[in-house]
Amino acid sequence: MTALSPAEQALVEPVDRAPILQQTLDWAAVNSGTANLAGLADMAGRLADAFAALPGEVRLVDPAPIEKVDREGTLRPVGHGRHLVASVRPHAPRRLLLTGHMDTVYAADHPFQTCDWADADTLHGPGTADMKGGLALMLAGLLAYEQSQPELGYDVMINSDEETGSLSSAALIASLAQGKLAALTYEPALPDGSMARARPGSGNYAAVVRGRSAHAGRNPEDGRNALLAAADLGLRLAAGRRAGLSVNPARIEGGAPNNTVPDLAILHFNLRPATPELAETAQAMVTEAIAAVSAAHEVTIHLHGHVSRPPKPITPQTEALFGLARKAADDLGQPMHWKDTGGVCDGNNIAACGVPVLDTMGALGGAIHSPDEFLLAPSLDARARLTALVMHRLERQNLTP
């Protein structure tokens, strides 16, 4: 750390891995799958207690109401946990946004519930990298930063629904992003320290297809097969794949007994456009496919969903933010690279507000969203130091391209 000034060395040297690791283990022991409302309430309470150590106000914000198409093709409300917001120096002229999520992909009854050590540095456990470790190191970095008598203000937002698209927290994210100098999001980096650069957008859809039932033997010609129409729609959408646009028909629900022409089917699919222009192209393609299938099969199709994660391009301001973070990482002896990725996160939503964002500031790890998920423990204190130093330098520098 020879490239650090004496003030910067004093800022980062007290950061200790042990308490960050212990907090990670404590939080990873709480199952907080997106649908586990009791677990999310427990996690939100623990986070509120921990982030109360910052010199600001901590509050829990109710989720926005969200509806989802059920197996009968009907929109039903879906419950979500509350979101945490901590505001520090809210009247400061220059402010940042730091974000993370408390939910994981592991349901309350998922067999992956406990942590163990793969080796001395590799912690295997649910949500350790994505992102209980990221939340713990974010807090440690902020507490270190607060020892420098800082003037920079910031909001911390930790939502309960990131793993399902942040639908109940999207408006909150957009509100908090307004007027911010920059944003840091604590998704996990790759084991080699690589950071996510550009991201595509993402939209999840449900196409509810309603046909007409009939007896499969006596009068099948009087029926309108919703299952066949849904399959046709899936094939037409898949044919729309092109460079920069991923289309994934993922699941068909519905159908009927073998002796009945099915009158209901629901096609679930995902779109990932790389640019806003491709997002418009994708929407036009979906509209055209629905019209063609409706006419060919004489069915009605109601589409639910939209591109809820806008594409995240790289702006000159984002390049400047990464340059500042990479220099800080280099000065700390933490090599940092970045590359485009096909994944999406809350960084997409923040970038859509015109705010430069680094969205893989969390712990190093891998195999996320699987029972093999792991975190590299040395990255906890390393990334906490990086957070403190990036905050310190952002206070003193402008993000000029």
DSSP per-residue string spanning 23-87: HHHHHHTS--BTT-HHHHHHHHHHHHHHHTTSSSEEEEEPPPPEEEE-TTS-EEEE----EEEEE
Provide the residue type at 383 as one letter.
R
pLDDT band at 310 (very low <50, low <70, confident <90, very high): very high
Provide the residue type at 249 as one letter.
P
130 has a pLDDT exceeding 80: yes
Percent of the chain with pLDDT over 90: 97
Question: What pLDDT, on a 0 to 100 scale, did the predictor assign at position 71?
Answer: 94
Are 307 and 240 in contact by the 8 Å Cβ rule? The answer is no
CA distance to 86, 173, 315, 322, per residue, from 176 (Å) = 11, 5, 20, 21
Question: In 3D, which of 44, 50, 354 has the Cα closest to residue 169?
Answer: 44
**Is this structure's pTM higher than 0.85?**
yes
Structure-token pair, residue 248 = 């994934």
Structure-token pair, residue 65 = 């109401």
Sheet holding 264-273, edge to edge: 245-254, 264-273, 202-210, 300-309
1 has a pLDDT exceeding 60: no
